[in-house]
Amino acid sequence: MNALKQRLEQANIGLVKENEPLKNHTTIKIGGPAEVFVIPKDVDSLKQVINILREENVMWRAIGRGSNLLVSDKGIDGVVIKLGEGLDTIDIKDNEVLVGGGYPLIKLAMLVSKQGLSGLQFASGIPGSVGGAVYMNAGAHGSDISKVLKKAHILFNDGTMEWLTSEEMQFSYRTSILQKERPGICIEAVFELLKGDKDEIVKEMLKNKDYRRDTQPWNYPCAGSIFRNPLPNYAGKLIEVAGLKGYQIGGAQISEMHANFIVNVGDAKAQDVLDLIEHVQHTIFDLYEVKMHTEVEIIGRK
């Protein structure tokens, strides 16, 4: 990997590190090292990185702000590409917003709301990036990305780029085509919003933000919702009724505030979280014969 690191550094594509601890780049503060860690300085640099990795036949994956992500204690083989500065541009024209995949979703929701544009109030408490939100069709408060996305600019694993419409993204509950048959990175997105009363829009956004702050444990490192809702049931309610709030393995604990969150209460390991997930799955199935599927993405060496 040292030769690859040198080639990437010589290409002047941005920040390049070896054996970077990914706990520094996830909201739950868990994760072993990435063999090589890259933050491209712009879209052209990102394309160059992908081309180099394809030529070198090296595995890679992209991350955003590290929410909704659980990285193995043993780390990740290959290269981890973080979308951040350089892919966080924004351009607003009338009711359309063109924004880079590395732009923080909360910041975007606040910005457009204050300009009297409605549609992203639901996202005011989702601590991810635009690219990650598009990738997983992030949602809350009865809405999601599919409701407002007009099109997304995707860099596919083979190095090709293409704009996909919202329909072509094949959105469903917390899922898009990027998780299925066409893996890739959302490098830009165009949102089509509605013009409205700025004061009312900001009021709704702040209400949603306050609700998440008051009901979800953001005072501890966490990865967001751990399980998908097994509709018509709700994951948090099932876990709470099963008496599992506060249940702890190692440094990982089922939140006492919201049972669909696992929080890092003290140097938790990924294995602690995985053991806790398995315990919840077994308990809920034994009690209710309901299968609990994870919403958090679990990656890295086994």
Task: Residue 261: give the domain boundaries.
Answer: 218-299
Residues 101 and 187 in one domain: yes
Domain boundary among 213, 244, 271: 213
Last residue of a domain, one of 213, 241, 266: 213
Among residues 76, 9, 66, which one has the least CA distance to residue 299?
76
Ramachandran angles phi, psi of 71, nearest 5°: -100, 135
pLDDT in tens, the chain (302 residues): 789 999 999 999 999 999 999 999 999 999 999 999 999 999 999 999 999 999 999 999 999 999 999 999 999 999 999 998 889 999 999 999 999 999 999 999 999 999 999 999 999 888 889 999 999 999 988 999 999 999 999 999 888 999 999 999 999 988 999 998 899 999 999 999 999 999 999 999 999 888 888 889 988 999 999 999 999 999 999 999 999 999 999 999 999 999 999 999 999 999 999 999 999 999 999 999 999 999 999 999 98
What's the rounded Cα separation, in Å, for the pair 133 and 139?
8
**Cβ atoms within 10 Å, residue 12:** 10
Domain count, the chain: 3
Known catalytic residue at 146: no
Q: Which of 35, 174, 176, 212 is catalytic?
A: 174
Asked whether residue 226 falls in the same domain as residue 183, the answer is: no
Helix %, strand %, coil % of the chain (to 5): 35, 30, 35
Pair 14, 67 in one domain: yes
State the catalytic residue, choosing from 129, 176, 225, 255: 225
Instruction: Give dist(CA 88, CA 59) in Å, integer.
Output: 25
- 172 and 97 both lie in a single domain: yes
The whole-angstrom distance between residue 207's C-alpha and the CA centroid of its chain comes to 22
DSSP 51-74: HHHHHHT--EEEESS-TTEEE-TT
Residues 176 and 278 in one domain: no
- Both 260 and 171 in one domain: the answer is no
> Angle 105-114/198-215 helices, nearest 10 degrees?
150
41 and 95: one domain? no
Q: Which of 20, 35, 188, 295 is catalytic?
A: 295
Q: With contact defined as beta carbons under 8 Å apart, do 294 and 302 qualify?
A: no
Closest CA to 130 of 157, 167, 98, 96: 98
Distances (CA, A) of 153 to 48, 135, 159, 277: 16, 11, 13, 34
My answer on whether 159 and 138 are in the same domain is yes
Domain end: 82, 100, 122, which one? 82
Dist CA 174 CA 169 (whole Å): 12
Asked about 9 being catalytic, the answer comes back as: no
Q: Are residues 209 and 128 in the same domain?
A: yes
Q: What is the DSSP string of 150-207?
A: EEEEEEETTS-EEEEETTTTT-BTTB-GGGTTS-EEEEEEEEE-EE--HHHHHHHHHH
Annotated catalytic, 255?
Answer: no
